[in-house]
Structure 1
Amino acid sequence: MIVDMRDVRRVYGVGDLAALPVFAGGFINFGYWAGIPLDGELTVEQRIASQRALYDLVVAALGIGPGDRVLEVGSGRGLGARRVLARGSALVRGVDLVPEQVARAAAANDDPRVAFVQGACDDLPFADASFDALLSVEAAQHFDDVAGFARESARVLAPGGRLAVTTFFTRTDDAGARLAELLETFASGLDRAHRVDDVVRDLRGAGFADVTARAIGEHVWRGLDRWLELGPRPEHWDRNWLRAAERGLVDYYLVTARKPAGSGV
């Protein structure tokens, strides 16, 4: 199923998903809830902290430091890119498919070391070997062409460059149809049922080494479900994510990889 770009713009552009109460602070991710107590009330500040923590997990996995040139694919409003910059990187670029998101990120940015452009995950508007690290936080579930994303990531990364992707992927071949029965975003095609083993295969096929996929759902699903139960949320926001995870249909992963130092551009 190919997602209609009008639907993507309706959700992320005109609709501005980040403005919904289920998200907070301008981020659009489910959050990493390790260390946040879930046995009481949850605050908006804790929700924002969970989303920042997910970015921090990815940044730590990449080992981003001074002098690194970093690309974020699916940069949204740009909060994550600016969080990456705080780690001392030399420059950060964000690319997003939705022009409204690019405009929002650019309007909120006042640092010349950060810039945002419109582009697709499988046709990145950057030269070969432009970056030392590449991250994508909760965007790959929308990608039509994960193999194309893997090839383009390998192209724009310099030899020795690092990649980290975090989002929810499926675990079995038949998960897509079953998820469509539980979750409207899979039924509509907005979220794609990418199997995690296929993502790993595509990255290796693009030339990446040291490809790993670590399930981190234990720190995602229950926190998200608790927030949906207690926090301010849209009237019809779906609470079947935890059920889908408990049935083994989907899990949240941190996928990391490295472009071999001796590889060509």
Structure 2
Amino acid sequence: MTRCPGAEQHPIPPAVQEAYGPADLSSMSLFGGGFINFGYWQGIELDQPLTEHDRISSQQAMYRHVLGTLAPTGGLRALEVGCGLGVGAAVALDEYGFAGVTGMDIHPQQLERAGQVNAALLARRPEQLRFVAGAAEDMPFGDGEFDCLYSVEAAQHFRDLGAFARETARVLRPGGRAVVASFFVPGADPAGIGRLAELLDTFATGLDVAHTIPSLVSGLEQAGLAEVRATSIGASVWPGWDRWLAGIWEPGSWPRNFLRAFREGILDYFTVTAERPAA
């Protein structure tokens, strides 16, 4: 079924509304540069004091890691699901040769900020960059509208992975490719899922959802996508993230428990790739 701009807006969960609205995670020192991800720290020296430049570089590197899995990208139309302030979409447009990049986000304040942060780029290349309101489970686009779809550290907020998978398959053209990067529960053990809420406030408050990687993989496959592969990149994420946190949070405080959860085997970071079979 073809969707179109103007599809009904899904309700925003209260914790998500607060974190990306009044709290504005992008303004916090935990992040920097307008990015909001834990970072891909491969190649950054962790036994030296980390700088804000290192932190921003780690977040840019996460986007480059994700976008690199879609190569070659020249001349293609891309959709970013959960674009936030749009700084990753700008990286995609500037560095990867896309014909156009659409950043979609459910939060109106994030979209307003994206327009402000990228005002110069939007004015210079209005036909190549746009920001659109929409939910991952009900995207306001036509069938087969995009050649590529990517999502960086947003899927932990989605409430229905199955609906997201179906929409991903729908908006991709035949032969189109998708990549999702975020943190997931590696297996389906209910004890591990419950443990996350004990260790991490973001799961306890409902900001993050303890999705399992098997549920995402099966959802993409059931939606008709092929070549679905999940690859752990936790070793390039969690130690660097914790090293950065060490300058802000004391050992034993809940943000430091992301690394603990990884070491306990109940949380990991993955890139998940898939493609829509060619007609």
TM-score range, shorter chain: over 0.9
Who is 1:248 aligned against? Answer: 265
Report the CA distance between 1:230 and its aligned residue. Answer: 2.2
What secondary structure sits across from 1:14 in the alignment? coil
Matches within 5 A, 1:65-144: 65-86=73-94, 87-109=96-118, 110=122, 111-112=125-126, 113-144=128-159
Q: Confirm or deny: 8 A CA contact 1:64 1:133 kept in the other structure.
A: no
Report the CA distance between 1:190 and its aligned residue. Answer: 1.1
Greater shift after overlay, 138-147 or 58-67?
A: 58-67
- After superposing on structure 2, the runs of 4+ consecutive aligned residues of structure 1 that deviate more than 4 Å are none
What secondary structure sits across from 2:20 in the alignment? helix
Who is 1:25 aligned against? Answer: 33
What secondary structure sits across from 1:191 in the alignment? coil
Q: CA RMSD in A?
A: 1.5
Q: Which runs of 5+ in 1 are unaligned?
A: none
What secondary structure sits across from 2:216 in the alignment? helix
Amino acid across the alignment from 1:258: E
Who is 1:168 aligned against? Answer: 183
Q: Confirm or deny: 8 A CA contact 2:249 2:255 kept in the other structure.
A: no
1:45-100, CA deviations, whole angstroms, 9 ceiling, x for partnerless residues? 00000000000011110114221000000000000001111211011001101100
Report the CA distance between 1:237 and its aligned residue. Answer: 6.5
What secondary structure sits across from 2:227 in the alignment? strand
Who is 1:8 aligned against? Answer: 16
CA separation of 1:13/1:64 partners in 2, compared to 1, >3 Å: closer, same or farther? farther
Who is 1:194 aligned against? Answer: 211
Q: Distance in 1 between matches of 2:265 and 2:68?
A: 28
Q: Percent identity?
A: 51
TM-score (norm 2): 0.89
| 1:154 has 2:157 as partner | no
What secondary structure sits across from 1:167 in the alignment? strand
Q: Distance in 2 between matches of 1:40 and 1:61?
A: 29
Q: Distance in 1 between matches of 2:99 and 2:74?
A: 6
Q: Confirm or deny: 8 A CA contact 1:176 1:186 kept in the other structure.
A: no
Amino acid across the alignment from 1:107: Q
Greater shift after overlay, 163-172 or 101-110?
A: 101-110
CA separation of 1:231/1:52 partners in 2, compared to 1, >3 Å: closer, same or farther? farther
Matches within 5 A, 1:39-78: 39-78=47-86
Report the CA distance between 1:4 and its aligned residue. Answer: 6.0
Who is 2:247 aligned against? Answer: 230
Q: Which runs of 5+ in 2 are unaligned?
A: 1-10
Residues matched between the structures, number: 258
